[in-house]
Amino acid sequence: MDVVLPCLDEAAALPWVLGRIPPGWRAIVVDNGSRDGSAELARSLGATVRTEPRRGFGAACHTGLLAATAELVCFLDCDGSLDPAQLPRVVDPVLAGRADLVLGRRRPTTRAAWPAHARVANAVLARRLRARTGADLHDLGPMRAARRDRLLALGLGDRRSGYPLEMVLGASAAGLRIAEVDVDYRPRSGRSKVTGTVRGTRQAVRDMRAVLAAPPATLLVIAKAPVPGRVKTRLCPPCTPQLAAELARAALVDTLRTLSTVPAGRRLLVLDGALDGDWLPPGWTVLPQVGGGLEVRLAAAFAAAAELAPQAPALLVGMDTPQLTAPMLAEPLAPVAREGVDAWFGPAADGGFWALGLARPSAALAERVLLGVAMSTPTTGAEVADRLARAGLRVARLPQLRDVDTAEDAAAVAALAPDSAFARSWHAARVHR
């Protein structure tokens, strides 16, 4: 296990905290600008030390998450208010498969452990969390545990006091099971930078309100049902129509599975054809595509998203990029990253685009951006990007990806995503040898 400990002037508490880390677990102390020798002391006590110059609780936590290498990662304040020896209580539900994110519910050992103003603010936030997530949470506790890959898939963007809240909201929107267990809460060593002052508490509440105000995005995948002779026909030859359909199904499965781990309010599969088989993951709603050209169907998909969730951003991807990873979408859709963004555009290497998003989707805007665009040409992406610009939209550009159209594309994409269902299907086909 790796234990991330954000640190700002905690030299008084570090010996006790590090001395109570469970045997065999690695302590990662992230120094966030200490002036009391905390980093040097932590290093002398055997901790792994990382430096994060950007001041902020979330910045320190995320640097520690990126530095972690263990499958399961814990977070813990290193001010002595929480006992690291109780970390196994928080970890056990994750290891047992009963929960995906576990928070330690703080139980004060003395009245001095938790100032009244901080306790009231926490209770208000916990009540809103219960209403928003449906999880039976009573505390936004800083002692927590989850699997590292699931946390990275959330694309957490807040780098201040909103980070712990964003983690919980993102986990809920990604379908993670959230639980809490009781842990002791002791008077901390020294003065708290947040809950120890009314000013700090107010700043934390402001940060968290900003996170709460951002509605989770609607994710859309537009696809054809994987029927031989109707999908991936440019793979034939060397593929047979049956094999091309199997590869299309694998690419679609990879895409849906990846997007299932991205925080979202709704997940919509906009499908041309019948849903045949058991390849659709839980949590997806199937909408039939309308008639007309591809640009008409894309615009209609955004219109449907806007009708279902008019205040939420909508981001649409195709079924041709099984190398897509969750952070590629989750990070730009994080509440902080959305500020000042009107649209998202993901260019494809062949001149098209693999992703298109609208921060405030509407049928009229989607038609303005898409209708009349010649699809599947080397200039399709450039024309859509130009329309976004002419509409006065501030566009966040996503990474360029390669679509799977030809056998050469398939081989290249399989190499980029060797653990994907698509790669397994491609290598099993042996058509490339």
* Average pLDDT, integer, range 348-373: 96
Average pLDDT, the chain: 92
Q: Is the pLDDT of residue 81 over 80?
A: yes
Segment among 11-15, 161-165, 218-222, 353-357 with least mean pLDDT = 161-165
Segment among 146-155, 182-191, 232-241, 242-251 with least mean pLDDT = 182-191
Domain ranges of the chain: 2-213, 218-429
Residue type, 130: R
Q: Minimal CA–CA distance to 219: which of 258, 252, 259, 176?
A: 259
* Average pLDDT, integer, range 117-142: 86
Compute CA 176 distance to the chain's CA centroid, rounded to the nearest angstrom.
11
| pLDDT tens-digit series, residues 369-395 | 999 999 999 999 999 999 999 999 999
Segment among 105-119, 280-294, 310-324 with least mean pLDDT = 105-119
| pLDDT tens-digit series, residues 328-345 | 999 999 999 999 999 999
pTM over 0.75: yes
CATH number of the structural domain 218-429: 3.90.550.10
Packing angle of the helix pair 198-213, 163-173 (nearest 10 deg) = 30
Collapsing DSSP states into helix, strand and coil, what is residue 113? helix
Would the CATH topology of 2-213 be identical to that of 218-429?
Answer: yes
Q: Is the pLDDT of residue 325 over 90?
A: yes
* Average pLDDT, integer, range 341-367: 97
Cα(357)–Cα(5) distance, rounded to whole angstroms? 36
Residues 6+ apart with CB under 8 A from 345: 353, 355, 356, 357, 381, 384, 385, 388, 395, 396, 397, 398
Collapsing DSSP states into helix, strand and coil, what is residue 316? strand
What pLDDT score was predicted for residue 207?
75
What pLDDT score was predicted for residue 276?
82
- Domain 2-213 matching CATH 3.90.550.10: the answer reads yes
* Average pLDDT, integer, range 262-278: 92
Q: Minimal CA–CA distance to 249: which of 279, 292, 222?
A: 279
| pLDDT tens-digit series, residues 30-70 | 999 999 999 999 999 999 999 999 999 999 999 999 999 99
Cα(354)–Cα(319) distance, rounded to whole angstroms? 9
Residue type, 346: G
What pLDDT score was predicted for residue 433?
46
Q: Is the pLDDT of residue 169 over 50?
A: yes
Task: Check residues 202 and 36 and name the one with the higher pLDDT.
Answer: 36
CA distances from 165 to 86, 157, 171 (A): 22, 11, 10
Contact 91, 193 (CB under 8 A): no
* Average pLDDT, integer, range 409-428: 94
What pLDDT score was predicted for residue 128?
86
What pLDDT score was predicted for residue 190?
57
